[in-house]
Structure 1
């Protein structure tokens, strides 16, 4: 069993390109079915990111490969990161 507070401290890494995506900032829940449907990560910073809004990256639960002790491995193609 893993607590949400513990998941938020783990770095999320895309196994397709090895990039660090950051830590979980939110979780999507299906209240009726009682399950997690996705994790939410901060979007990539943009040039002059101070002035622009950053879009979050939603990672569907099915794209999570492994939840380890220190990291969470996901498989995200470029279309999910843009």
Structure 2
């Protein structure tokens, strides 16, 4: 599967049914050749240009199912990050 295939899918949290957005990036483990997590930008940015620019980082283990149109995730252990990778308080 290509990253462009991920970027066309909606990410849905199965815990509350909320649509989180679409995958913007992947975090890779280059030594083991696998995906560590997916990154989904929050809706706080205006066309990706203005705002705080927080992202939801979802570990690969939290992905429940990758379907034709959606990626289902469980967000119990997810962290929010600013653009400069400073953890945000929850």
Give the number of equivalent residue pairs: 78
Could you tell me the TM-score, scaled by structure 2's length?
0.76
Matched, 1:5 2:9: no
- Give runs of ≥4 in structure 1 deviating > 6 Å: none
- The CA RMSD measured in Å over matched residues stands at 2.1
Structure 1 pair 33–16 and aligned structure 2 pair: CA distance change class (3 A): same
What is the aligned partner in structure 2 of residue 37 from structure 1?
Answer: 36
Q: Distance in 2 between matches of 1:51 and 1:26?
A: 19
Structure 1 pair 43–34 and aligned structure 2 pair: CA distance change class (3 A): same
Deviations 1:32-64 (A, max 9, x none): 100000000002428xxx863121110000000
Could you tell me the TM-score, scaled by structure 1's length?
0.83
Does structure 1 retain, via aligned residues, the 8 Å contact 2:26–2:39? yes
More RCO (CA 8 Å, sep 6+)? 1
Matched, 1:73 2:72: yes
Any gaps of 5 or more consecutive residues in structure 1? Answer: none
Any gaps of 5 or more consecutive residues in structure 2? Answer: 81-89
